[in-house]
Amino acid sequence: MLKEFKAFVLRGNLIDLAVAVVIGLAFTALVTALVADLLTPLIAAIFGSHDFSSLTFTINGSVFRYGDFLNALITFLTIAAAVFFFVVVPANALIQRARREPGPDPTIKKCPECLSEIPVDARRCAFCTTQLS
């Protein structure tokens, strides 16, 4: 039984998952700090307050705390924007840069007659024997 447990713990998937959870927690802390320390004060500077939890209205004795919903909505939108602009956009740019195809080979050209690849210095196509200028 101990041998099976050791094999389970040392499986690659479990270790990958553990690393992903730790990195995810660290990333969560980073995004939360970005939103709480930089973006929320920016919103407070624009709108005059960063806490809308005191906003309510009452209908037939029922209190609707729409301020809490506004706080949650603003938090969600700022976190989504931070993740998009600081993670997704740069990651997409890196992936796009990595996928660029190399330019054409300067030592090879195409035969105008049969479209085979031939050396630039060739005077005759090796495939169709067309005279090249």
Q: DSSP secondary-structure letter at 102?
A: P
Check pLDDT > 80 for residue 86.
yes
pLDDT at 46: 82
The answer to whether the beta carbons of residues 67 and 53 sit under 8 Å apart is: yes
Confidence band (pLDDT; 50, 70, 90) for 119?
very high
Q: Mark whether 13 and 77 lie in a shared domain.
A: yes
Measured CA angle at 105 (ends 104, 110), to 5 deg: 85
Q: Mark whether 91 and 114 lie in a shared domain.
A: no
Instruction: Fill in the amino acid letter for 132.
Output: L
pLDDT at 59: 92
Provide the number of structural domains found in the chain.
2
Tens of pLDDT, residue by residue over 33-48, are: 887 788 778 877 887 7
Domain that holds residue 14: 2-98
Check pLDDT > 80 for residue 117.
yes
Q: Mark whether 12 and 55 lie in a shared domain.
A: yes
